[in-house]
């Protein structure tokens, strides 16, 4: 790439960012006007601290904070607009802790934070640093802030419709922006630099990352999200990769990815990125433009008419020529033997204000019934085992850090199954069909080879990560692997089923008499009914249980999760695992169904015998 082109490119990007800034400022102004209809609370005139102002505010009040240093950790539990007088001189500094601690925590929906410098107090132990902002509500906006020198800059577990715009996010110990899940979130128009991990790391689905300037981090964007759009970003000067890609069904358009070790990196571990559409991007002066760890993952590098601009194209294909003034070359740019840019661009792609943000590929919408069924009949070369009903294909764990996390494929109860060894596990990416809020049923064939000496030998586990600690289990099916300590302890082999609701919290039942025996197949069902609560069935019969925690019939919505795993901490064979968004009708359980079929067969046989008897008698 020549120097004049760089200048031209940066000028065009500046114009795009300027246009976006003007539009976003208008949006912010409108937000301020809408909030202005309610009360305005001034800090420190009305209250000496921001926390006191929030405590005394009414919903939708504006809390206007004057210039100054504010040493506090703020919990926002109602929809308010927190507005700083000047982004550079209105500074909030909060304390941290080893496993938690946020400078600002948003637990309400519809909160706006704008106009502050936000950072953690300093510690000798980096793990003690606070997160700058932890968002735990939906429809929240973080606009025009300086977010710096914290653990995570912005941390979100599984929120939806979050807007992160026009912020300067820099020098944080982990990611600048971290979403462990969530949907319909938008990260746009930010400057994100000098963070020790990724500028942005995002999972979930249906998100938009657009028109950010991302530079000088370890990674640019960690793309774990699916069905999302990455558009118009300028991503440069990263020691590892511009895009670290583990998600599928995304559209990547109009980005300039330059001077990174890898332009795009597809990892070898615990990822199967497929069906991503990557075109109209500029790959400039990267040490390697694309690194692919598995040739079995198929992605698309053009839109059937135009592809990407590759700065090393002429070096790689010196005899290539332009096709009839089309702006594309006649020789495909090869990434693997499966992946090619069939229409590589002759010149850099120029993104203008008229280029629309692409429409994301749409995930499958939830329907009533069995959401997903994993029969585990085969594991594909890219370590994917298919969902035979829905789109929630499961990814087998890989070899990492000297440990093989990949379950084996062996003969099972019905065809093949997966064999877990206490370390191996399977992961299912987020999707709307797996976001089940009311009734749920887990069903699986289980064969325990050996009990692992932990409380939860997990069959199916929904979990969530909300802070620095490990993910917390919130819903699932497991087997107890601990020997009982006394007569109130669960017996080894006891089946455990649990859910977490937004009203009653964590609720768990466990079998008291029935236990899973080693070396025997058992058909296990756990369900939550809105009417009858939590139930366990084994081989078609409801079994006796006791309440381990919470209540047997919890109220409220099921809590959303960020992760779904199979087989974690289980030394077992699993077959025919399914999840349904209804509670099982116990009269339709397998053994009773067999009894019904047998009864019908007996009736048919009796009828046939009776007909034969009557015919013979009539002949006489």
| Shared-domain flag, residues 584 and 437 | yes
| Shared-domain flag, residues 428 and 574 | yes
Q: Give a yes or no: residue 125 inside a domain.
A: no
The whole-angstrom separation of Cα 437 and Cα 249 is 25
Quick: pLDDT tens for 355-375.
899 999 999 888 889 999 999
Please write down the HEC assignment for all residues of 476-517.
EEEECCCCCCCCCCCCCCCEEEEEEECCCEEEEEEECCCCCC
Residue 292, pLDDT score:
92
Which domain CATH number covers 540? 2.60.120.200
Residue 22 has pLDDT above 70, yes or no: no
Residue 77, pLDDT score:
98
Q: Which two tokens stand for residue 603?
A: 């009736």
Residue 44, pLDDT score:
98
The whole-angstrom separation of Cα 248 and Cα 257 is 19
Region for 51 from its dihedrals, namely left if φ exceeds 0, alpha if ψ lies in -120 to 50, beta otherwise: alpha
**What percentage of residues in the chain have a pLDDT greater than 70?**
89
Residue 293, pLDDT score:
84
Residue 586, pLDDT score:
54
The whole-angstrom separation of Cα 548 and Cα 561 is 21
Q: Please state the rounded mean pLDDT for residues 74-102.
A: 95
Contact (Cβ atoms closer than 8 angstroms) between residue 433 and residue 366: yes
Q: Give a yes or no: residue 511 inside a domain.
A: yes
Residue 10, pLDDT score:
45
Q: Please state the rounded mean pLDDT for residues 340-364.
A: 93
Say how far residue 551 (Cα) sits from the centre of its chain. Answer: 29
Q: Please state the rounded mean pLDDT for residues 226-236.
A: 98
Domain span at residue 544 reads 370-588
Number of H helices, E strands in the chain: 4, 53
Contact (Cβ atoms closer than 8 angstroms) between residue 434 and residue 564: yes
Q: Give a yes or no: residue 483 inside a domain.
A: yes
| Shared-domain flag, residues 576 and 609 | no
Closest CA to 111 of 66, 50, 172, 67: 50
Residue 26, pLDDT score:
42
Q: Please state the rounded mean pLDDT for residues 300-327.
A: 97
Q: Give a yes or no: residue 394 inside a domain.
A: yes
Higher-scoring residue by pLDDT: 342, 587: 342
**Confidence band for 212, pLDDT divided at 50, 70 and 90:** very high
Residue 327 has pLDDT above 90, yes or no: yes
pTM: 0.87
Contact (Cβ atoms closer than 8 angstroms) between residue 426 and residue 394: yes
Quick: pLDDT tens for 466-476.
887 788 999 99
Residue 353, pLDDT score:
79
Q: Give a yes or no: residue 309 inside a domain.
A: no
Residue 14, pLDDT score:
44
| Shared-domain flag, residues 406 and 555 | yes
* Separation in Å, CA 571 to CA 157, 422, 579: 30, 5, 21
Q: Please state the rounded mean pLDDT for residues 137-146.
A: 99
Residue 106 has pLDDT above 60, yes or no: yes
Residue 271, pLDDT score:
77
Mean pLDDT, the chain, whole residue set: 90
Higher-scoring residue by pLDDT: 6, 232: 232
Which string of b and e fits 461-493 if b means at least 16 CB within 10 Å?
A: bbbbbbbbeebebbbbbbbbbbeeeeeeebbbb
Quick: pLDDT tens for 550-561.
999 999 999 999
| Shared-domain flag, residues 494 and 403 | yes
Residue 34, pLDDT score:
44
Q: Please state the rounded mean pLDDT for residues 46-66.
A: 98
| Shared-domain flag, residues 477 and 502 | yes
Q: Give a yes or no: residue 120 inside a domain.
A: no
| Shared-domain flag, residues 462 and 605 | no
Residue 89 has pLDDT above 80, yes or no: yes
The whole-angstrom separation of Cα 570 and Cα 469 is 22
The whole-angstrom separation of Cα 338 and Cα 335 is 8
Q: Give a yes or no: residue 121 inside a domain.
A: no
Quick: pLDDT tens for 233-277.
999 999 999 999 999 999 999 999 999 999 999 987 767 899 999
Q: Which two tokens stand for residue 541?
A: 């019969």
* Number of domains making up the chain: 2
Residue 592, pLDDT score:
46
The whole-angstrom separation of Cα 478 and Cα 422 is 13
* Separation in Å, CA 253 to CA 214, 234, 242, 289: 16, 11, 14, 16
| Shared-domain flag, residues 496 and 594 | no
> Is the peptide bond preceding residue 457 cis, with omega within 30 degrees of 0?
no
Quick: pLDDT tens for 515-525.
999 999 999 99
Q: Please state the rounded mean pLDDT for residues 516-542.
A: 97
| Shared-domain flag, residues 607 and 528 | no
Residue 620 has pLDDT above 50, yes or no: no
**What percentage of residues in the chain have a pLDDT greater than 90?**
80
Q: Give a yes or no: residue 219 inside a domain.
A: no
Residue 617, pLDDT score:
66
Q: Please state the rounded mean pLDDT for residues 180-189.
A: 97
Quick: pLDDT tens for 381-409.
888 999 999 889 999 987 667 778 899 99
| Shared-domain flag, residues 464 and 484 | yes
Contact (Cβ atoms closer than 8 angstroms) between residue 405 and residue 277: no
| Shared-domain flag, residues 387 and 515 | yes
| Shared-domain flag, residues 620 and 583 | no
Q: Please state the rounded mean pLDDT for residues 107-120.
A: 98
Residue 351 has pLDDT above 80, yes or no: yes
Residue 589 has pLDDT above 80, yes or no: no
């Amino acid at each position: 790439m020549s120097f004049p082109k760089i200048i031209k490119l940066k000028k065009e990007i500046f114009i795009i960012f300027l246009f976006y800034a003007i539009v976003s400022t208008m949006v912010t102004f409108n937000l301020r006007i809408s909030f202005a209809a309610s009360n305005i609370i001034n800090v420190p005139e009305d209250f000496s601290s921001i926390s006191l102002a929030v405590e005394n505010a009414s919903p939708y009040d504006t809390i206007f904070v004057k210039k100054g240093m504010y040493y506090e950790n703020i919990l926002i539990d109602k929809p308010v607009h927190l507005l700083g007088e000047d982004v550079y001189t209105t500074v909030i500094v909060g304390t941290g802790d080893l496993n938690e601690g946020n400078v600002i925590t948003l637990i309400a929906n519809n909160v706006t934070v704008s106009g502050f410098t936000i950072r953690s107090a300093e510690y000798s132990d980096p793990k003690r640093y606070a997160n700058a902002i932890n968002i735990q509500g939906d429809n929240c906006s973080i606009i025009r802030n300086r977010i710096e020198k914290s653990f995570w800059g912005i941390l979100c577990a599984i929120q939806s419709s979050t807007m992160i715009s026009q912020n300067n996010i820099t020098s944080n110990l982990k990611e600048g922006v971290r979403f462990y899940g969530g949907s319909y979130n938008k990260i746009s128009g930010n400057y994100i630099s000098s963070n020790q991990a990724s500028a942005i790391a995002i999972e979930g689905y249906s998100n938009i990352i657009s028109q950010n300037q991302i530079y000088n981090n370890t990674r640019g964007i960690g793309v774990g999200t699916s069905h999302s759009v990455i558009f118009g970003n300028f991503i440069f000067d990263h020691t590892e990769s511009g895009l670290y890609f583990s998600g599928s069904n995304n559209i990547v358009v109009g980005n300039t990815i330059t001077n990174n070790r890898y332009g795009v990196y597809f990892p070898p571990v615990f990822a199967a990125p497929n069906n991503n559409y990557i075109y109209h991007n500029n790959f400039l002066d990267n040490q390697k433009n694309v690194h692919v760890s598995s040739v079995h993952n198929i992605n698309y590098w053009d839109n059937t008419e135009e592809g990407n601009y590759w700065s090393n194209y002429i070096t790689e294909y010196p005899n290539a020529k332009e096709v009839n003034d089309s702006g594309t070359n006649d020789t495909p740019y090869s990434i693997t033997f499966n992946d090619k840019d069939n229409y590589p661009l002759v010149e850099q792609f120029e993104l203008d204000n008229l280029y629309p943000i692409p429409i994301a590929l749409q995930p499958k919408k939830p329907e009533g019934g069995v959401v997903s069924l994993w029969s585990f009949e085969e594991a594909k070369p890219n370590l994917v085992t298919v969902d035979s009903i829905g789109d929630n294909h499961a990814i087998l764990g890989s070899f990492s850090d000297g440990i093989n996390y990949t379950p084996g494929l062996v003969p099972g109860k019905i065809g093949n199954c997966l064999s877990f060894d206490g370390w191996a596990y399977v992961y299912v990416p987020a999707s709307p069909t797996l976001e089940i809020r009311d009734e749920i049923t887990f069903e699986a064939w289980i064969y325990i080879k050996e009990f692992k000496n932990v409380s939860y030998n997990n069959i199916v586990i929904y979990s969530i990560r909300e802070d620095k600690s490990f993910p917390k289990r919130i819903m699932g099916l497991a087997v107890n692997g601990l020997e009982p300590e006394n007569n109130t302890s669960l017996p080894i082999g006891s089946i455990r089923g649990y859910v977490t609701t937004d009203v009653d919290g964590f609720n768990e039942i466990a079998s008291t008499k029935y236990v899973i025996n080693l070396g025997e197949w058992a058909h296990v069902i756990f369900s939550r009914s809105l009417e009858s609560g939590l139930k366990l069935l084994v081989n078609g019969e409801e079994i006796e249980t006791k309440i381990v925690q919470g209540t047997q019939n919890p109220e409220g919505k099921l809590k959303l999760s960020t992760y779904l795993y199979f087989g974690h901490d289980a030394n077992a064979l699993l077959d025919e695992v399914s999840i349904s968004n209804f509670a099982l009708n116990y009269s339709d359980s397998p053994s009773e169904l067999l009894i019904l079929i047998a009864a019908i067969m007996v009736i048919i046989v009796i009828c046939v015998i009776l007909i034969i008897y009557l015919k013979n008698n009539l002949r006489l």
